[in-house]
Homo-oligomer: A and B are copies of this chain.
């Protein structure tokens, strides 16, 4: 065991977690101490993996994934987390299931879960739907456990919904903690969460919402920037403001990327669809109104096109603190002249920060592992100590 791991284990032992047999859906529903425990555990697991030490915690059992939207990195992060803990991945492919013919969510939730430990869900297509769906599944699981149908209630991990993308924002925060040398070092740091131009439409709001909802809790000065009409869900913006007030941080919304970048320590330029557009889109999708959807897409792309100047380029980066803010992105980014003619970020800026964005992403499987571990293990610190004591090599 490395001295760093030893120190981390002691620090983890002092933290409090209340996730046992609970779900993790929204970061701001959990106390800051819970967030700290998740980050601490994710770092320890990452360190163990680096040392080639297995932190397998389960002998058998299922980790179920339900992806209602395409995914690469979250899908593989979830698969990686499951494997590392010893769980078997079972993906629910709704097209190959019988769910189509009128089965209720509460029934399906129980039918899948007799031997499940965790259920990861991505459902970010419809505003007002994804998070609600997760809670509906959660209520069904609670009923199943209460009525003795399920021996133990599996825990739900939100792998992105319409409101939050907690495994992303937690991975982002873990990376910031590492990059700046500790959570306490983030106090007073200026982060610009800004809209950026993309030649696509309908991107979910959950990443920017997740960032402003989480970073405001650590005393950071969070600036949200977007063109007029590109606002986020109002309730989440209110949460961010309240969080900032409570943590001694700041939160404000501005109308230009330049204003947000000025003096920033961290920039997070990322496209998203306007809240009101997503509302209209949700209605049209529910009515399967193809003509309406096509018209909306055209309208939105035309509107987006008014804001091609919202690109993270060298000139704007030069406005940041010491001209060298940390660039962040959840990936994949729309890179000008690489993945599209004009996009969220210039090729030159992206290339400079490409490897840092990979480091940022590298925390996600360990954050998911930590969520699984804390939600399924009764005494996480003791269990972790015994796992490290055992020190089983990845290669047996």
In the bound complex, do residue A90 and residue B89 qualify as a contact, i.e. CB atoms below 8 Å apart?
yes
Nearest B residue to A140, CB-CB: B358
In the bound complex, do residue A60 and residue B70 qualify as a contact, i.e. CB atoms below 8 Å apart?
no
- Tally of chain A residues near chain B (CB < 8 A): 82
Interface residues of A in 49-100 (CB under 8 A from B): 49-50, 52, 54, 56-62, 64, 67, 70-73, 75-77, 79-80, 82-90, 92, 96-100
In the bound complex, do residue A89 and residue B88 qualify as a contact, i.e. CB atoms below 8 Å apart?
yes
Nearest B residue to A88, CB-CB: B83
CB 8 Å contact bits of A84-119 with B (1 = contact, 0 = none): 111111101000111111111001101110111100
A88-B89, A115-B365, A149-B359 as given contacts; A61 in contact with B394, CB under 8 Å: yes
A314 at the interface (CB under 8 A from B): no
A59-B394, A111-B73 as given contacts; A88 in contact with B98, CB under 8 Å: no
Looking at A144, A331, A376, which has the most chain B CB atoms within 10 Å of its CB?
A331
Q: Which of A127-135, A261-269, A333-341 contacts B (4 or more CB under 8 A)?
A: A333-341
A107-B331, A396-B58 as given contacts; A355 in contact with B50, CB under 8 Å: no
In the bound complex, do residue B148 and residue A332 qualify as a contact, i.e. CB atoms below 8 Å apart?
no
* A residues lining the B interface (CB < 8 Å): 49-50, 52, 54, 56-62, 64, 67, 70-73, 75-77, 79-80, 82-90, 92, 96-104, 107-108, 110-112, 114-117, 144, 147-152, 200, 331-332, 334-335, 338-340, 354-355, 358-359, 361-362, 364-365, 376-377, 383, 387, 392-396
In angstroms, Cα B4 to Cα A212, docked, is 53
